[in-house]
Amino acid sequence: MKSSPNTLLVFGLAAAAAFGLGSTWWLHQAPADTLVLTASAARAQASGGPSATATPAVPAVPANAASTPGQPGVQAAGVDISTGALMAISLPGSDGKPHALAEFQGKPMVLNFWATWCDPCREELPLLQTVATRPAFQDKAVVVGIALDSPAAVQSFLKLRPLSFPVLMEEGDAGEKLAARLGDASGSLPFTAIVDRHGVVVETRLGPWKAGELDTRLATLTAAR
């Protein structure tokens, strides 16, 4: 049975439309277990076991993602962790030593969750590097990267693109769980939590920062007492 040109055209347009809708959905949604699978693959790589060969899917966020500036001392919505529990979190650093977040308490802290396979994360790193080294924030604020990736991948990445701010790495699924308790329920990256000098999570953000935004947040927090 032969199909008419019009039938083929309609079929083709329908297929293209379906693909477009599916692609658009994927950009803004991800399977609920995407981050879990990625973390599992990273742990398998770290232990020398089998891992997925495909690049992990990155749950993307809208380009205009934004957050409401937080107020010092007021905990951000969606955060499910106390100051004491947050400061007690300890993860291995890129220097091979364990580091508790309490080491950085006493000054505003930017906790940025990222991964080497996350394109938006890699694109955001230069901005974080600039903020971390800005003279106005020297000894007044700290940027801490938390890589939800295999330690081997992170170390290889840092050899090519060194960062001046502390980088902590996943241990089991501790980093993944921390991100969730800080409000990253979808497991999307990059994700940032801003902590004031007293250890209160005052703002969270899903998606990359734009130039100047993080400077404004930190200027407010460094000036607060």
Say whether pLDDT at 35 is over 70. no
pTM comes to 0.73
Task: Name the band, by pLDDT with cuts 50, 70 and 90, for residue 40.
Answer: very low
- Give strand ranges (E) for the chain: 90-92, 98-100, 109-114, 142-147, 167-169, 191-195, 201-206
The answer to whether 199 touches 103, Cβ cutoff 8 Å, is: no
What residue has token string 């300890």?
90
The whole-number pLDDT of residue 8 equals 43
Residue-wise pLDDT tens digits, 54-103: 344 444 444 445 565 666 778 888 899 999 999 999 999 999 899 999 99
Is residue 192 scored above 60 in pLDDT? Answer: yes
**Domain spanning 34-223, CATH class:** alpha beta
* CA 58 – CA 114 distance, rounded (Å): 10
